[in-house]
Chain A
């Protein structure tokens, strides 16, 4: 398994009561994998505690990016919400914590993406 942050980066924007969260592949080669696995349904499940509407997904093939629009995810909107993060700006980091299966093609190992050992217990943190 990988975390989304191993292969992508993200930023949140707000417009009224709606949040948009971009997901951009670090390596364009990972974009088809993202498109196949990071579904609107998975994103809706992740953000269920704050989501009062639907999730729309837009594909930007030429940028290797997806854009998710979370309808009614901001507690009524930044100007009326009682949330600590009324803009929902931290939600991009929550997006990057989503776990996905390993992508098919070989990738350069990064410290954040270090795979677990093939057997035995996971090393202590």
Chain B
């Protein structure tokens, strides 16, 4: 193969569906990858699976497959996704169900599991990176532990002829690196090519964030057609350099500026971007315009992969309670400030037990105190949020905000209260042997 074309069909679990169909129909791609598994999502999916053995995969899996499978089958496009979440095997069966419904027989669907390692985390005495304490101390608050797998088990599935590969926790760029390794036959220690491929995967993993999504700033950085934003595809060379582009006629833009913003998104040391496959190095990268909506990516490299795998660990961290109410017109800020003081005093007076409380004036100081440019705001919204040990305690926070309707400053409006259980994430570094990737193939 000379050039490999890989499309990115989703940047998060709730992403738009039509841009993936557009890529499948008009992108001239060989692979369509959907990155849909946020860090915390797998913990919540794990709980769903415990409640129902057939559950625990992405809630939009069937809808996405129903939308893209016809064009993918017609154009010979293979699909890779982490929509398997906490139950890749059940997800694979669900995809076969959709294929049968669409009259598409003979589909081969691979499920990659083995990232789940809650028991191994506890039994192995592994320590949480953030706290330095053993994971076992979380006790029954521990909900999930999943190692980030690399590309290898996905490559195995592609070699076995899978049309669709569904995984749980896999490093996001590895979803894209797998087809490159499969098609170009890169060695497992070809660090330079693996580094370059990982960089392209990183650019694709958030879908529209490299084609002008999350970029527009009117008058400074204008982007046309954001309501019909096109999702990206990479044209990958056999040496791992490549070009980022999108379907002609779709909305959005691909420029060196959109690419550079996404390149550094969620990156710490650009000389050492760690994945299970390689330590990628962005520092020598050249990003240059190569025609309309085409940007060339060259000069990346890589070094040996990290010795250990990262695991994400989900645990129950209490309950969140929140209330909001708005004030408007002349003196809005003074009334919102008074409301804030009233709630602060009330929470102390009635003895609400909170591990942490937060009082924001949205429009003034909710994002970064001190940023307000001056002048009287025409609308201010009070927001009070807290973290408590129980749901009942957390609910008292929203109640005190709501009670401002009849007990607080004049003309407060639009009060809402909300809350919910907090599933939080920590991480651990574990030996590679702690995860045991497995591939299961089912055929329709």
Interface size of B in residues (CB-CB distance below 8 Å): 51
- A: contact size bracket: 35 or more
A9-B217, A11-B261, A22-B261 are known contacts. Are A79 and B424 too (CB-CB below 8 A)? Answer: yes
Contact among A62, A67, A77 with B285 in the assembled complex (CB-CB below 8 Å)? A62
Residues on B with beta carbons closer than 8 Å to the beta carbon of A15: 266, 268
Residues on B with beta carbons closer than 8 Å to the beta carbon of A24: 257, 260-261, 264
Is B263 a contact of A63 with CB atoms below 8 Å?
yes
- Cβ-based interface call for B423 (8 A): yes
Is B266 a contact of A84 with CB atoms below 8 Å?
no
Is B264 a contact of A83 with CB atoms below 8 Å?
no
Residues on B with beta carbons closer than 8 Å to the beta carbon of A91: 367-368
Interface residues as binary, A57-85 with B (CB distance below 8 Å gives 1, 0 otherwise): 01011110101010000000111101111
Is B366 a contact of A84 with CB atoms below 8 Å?
yes
- Cβ-based interface call for A120 (8 A): no
How far apart are the CA atoms of A49 and B386 in the complex, in Å? 19
Between A13, A18, A69, A91, the greatest number of chain B beta carbons within 10 A of the residue's beta carbon is seen for A13
Inter-chain contact total with CB atoms closer than 8 Å? 117
- Cβ-based interface call for B267 (8 A): yes
Which A residues form the contact surface with B (CB < 8 A)? 5, 9-11, 13-18, 20, 22, 24, 26, 47, 49-50, 56, 58, 60-63, 65, 67, 69, 77-80, 82-85, 90-91, 94, 97, 110-112
- Cβ-based interface call for B439 (8 A): no
Contact among B257, B265, B368, B369 with A13 in the assembled complex (CB-CB below 8 Å)? B265
Is B219 a contact of A67 with CB atoms below 8 Å?
no
How far apart are the CA atoms of A34 and B266 in the complex, in Å? 21
Interface residues as binary, B354-380 with A (CB distance below 8 Å gives 1, 0 otherwise): 001110101000111111000000000
Residues on A with beta carbons closer than 8 Å to the beta carbon of B422: 79-80
- Cβ-based interface call for B317 (8 A): yes
Is B386 a contact of A82 with CB atoms below 8 Å?
yes
Interface residues as binary, B266-299 with A (CB distance below 8 Å gives 1, 0 otherwise): 1111110000000000111111000000000001
Is B260 a contact of A22 with CB atoms below 8 Å?
yes
Is A67 a contact of B270 with CB atoms below 8 Å?
yes
How far apart are the CA atoms of A32 and B369 in the complex, in Å? 30
How far apart are the CA atoms of A10 and B11 in the complex, in Å? 19
A20-B268, A49-B368, A60-B270 are known contacts. Are A111 and B260 too (CB-CB below 8 A)? Answer: no
- Cβ-based interface call for B78 (8 A): no
- Cβ-based interface call for B64 (8 A): no
Least CB distance from B135 to A in Å reads 16
Least CB distance from B289 to A in Å reads 13
Beyond A11-B261, A18-B268, 17 additional contacts (C-beta under 8 Å) are A11-B215, A16-B425, A22-B267, A24-B257, A65-B264, A67-B270, A69-B268, A77-B425, A79-B40, A79-B425, A82-B357, A82-B385, A83-B366, A90-B368, A91-B368, A94-B371, A110-B220
